[in-house]
Amino acid sequence: MIFNLEKSINQHICLPTEFGVELYIKREDRIHPHISGNKYRKLKYNLIEAETLGFNILLTFGGAYSNHIAAVASVGATFGFKTIGIIRGEELKSKVKDNPTLKFAQSCGMQFKFVSRSDYREKTSEEFIKNLKEEFGAFYHIPEGGTNALAIKGCEEILTEADKSFNYVCCAVGTGGTISGIINSSKQNQKVLGFPALKGEFLTKDISKFVTHKNWELTADYHFGGFAKINSVLITFINQFKNTYHVPLDPVYTGKMVYGIFDMIYKSKFPKGSKILAIHTGGLQGIEGMNMRLKEKNLPLIY
Ligand SMILES: *Cc1c(COP(=O)(O)O)cnc(C)c1O
């Protein structure tokens, strides 16, 4: 299998000199139009493993607007796997055509099984997986969000030797898989800062299980009330950032992280002379679905 997409570039974000820090964004969002950013990194070694073990079906889990579901569906279409998505929310069954993420996944050939929220909570139980095997046959199981040991191995390839001159590496956090890989491949003199996209008190413990270094910290100040929660301050920030720097940000992860980095820069939380690298983990496919929800709530849209 040829699975070697291009390396991403670090884009300089030109800040007023009085801030006294330098900011770069690693454009992992540009790796692939649909298998974006960290989802590519997390899937890479899992696909190699699936192929080695002779599986031709990938089965995974996700919510209605999941970047991971979109990425797995696209991987299936690109590399010749059959894909099955177990989707949270039975009510979505009749609404696939109104949901840009699910519509895209379906166009890639993904087959869905919609389950209730209470059934969905069983997604890691042996019994649940066993029943799915009876229903769909032998499949390679990728957990929700794609986080497992092979995913973390893939995320260890995000930082390169050339990135060792950065003092801070910043990353959005969902399950913590991506930041774990970044932490493992960071240098002793670097600090890795995580920006959880949700209220996740459990995350520090989860990440500790995966990492070999102690040079990291999570900041709980920029989740905007919880997963996929958003307000007009964040929307305005995302739009202004794109206008000024020509870098699109997604509303669920990278928008919150970059908002947080700017807030910390304004508040002089980084020592003068710091070189900061922010990882753009992708997720731009989620903008369309978010805009549909913003429209219903009469909030400004992301453009
Ligand atoms: C999934 C995702 C994350 C979170 O990654 P984890 O490994 O679950 O912490 C961050 N950013 C984007 C754009 C994502 O799609």
Domain residue limits, the chain: 10-33+158-296, 38-146
Tokens of 294: 């913003």
Q: pLDDT, tens digit, for every residue of 223-252?
A: 999 999 999 999 999 999 999 999 999 999
- Based on C-alpha coordinates, what's the Rg of the chain? 19
Same topology, domains 10-33+158-296 and 38-146? Answer is: yes
Q: Is the minimum distance from the CB of 176 to ligand 1 under 6 angstroms?
A: yes
Residue 119 CA to chain centroid, in angstroms?
A: 24
Alpha-carbon gap, residue 55 to 53, rounded angstroms: 6
Which pLDDT score, from 0 to 100, does residue 2 have? 43
The answer to whether residues 227 and 198 touch, using CB atoms and an 8 Å cutoff, is yes
Question: Directed axis angle between helix 67-79 and helix 100-107, to 10°?
Answer: 10
> How far, in Å, from the CA of 253 to the mean position of ligand 1?
7
Give domain 38-146's CATH architecture: 3-Layer(aba) Sandwich (3.40)
Quick one: pLDDT band at residue 167, thresholds 50, 70, 90?
very high
- The answer to whether residues 163 and 10 touch, using CB atoms and an 8 Å cutoff, is yes
- Residue type at position 48: I
8 pocket-lining for ligand 1 (C-beta < 6 Å): no
Measured in Å, residue 72 CA sits from the centre of ligand 1 at 14
CA distances from 269 to 218, 241, 266, 276, 301 (A): 14, 20, 8, 12, 30
**Domain at 10-33+158-296: CATH code:** 3.40.50.1100
Does the reported pTM lie above 0.85? yes
**By the 8 A CB rule, do 64 and 94 touch?**
no
- Decide whether any atom of ligand 1 lies within 6 Å of the 62 Cβ: no
- In this structure, what token pair is assigned to residue 279? 């990882």
pLDDT exceeding 70 applies to what percent of the chain?
98
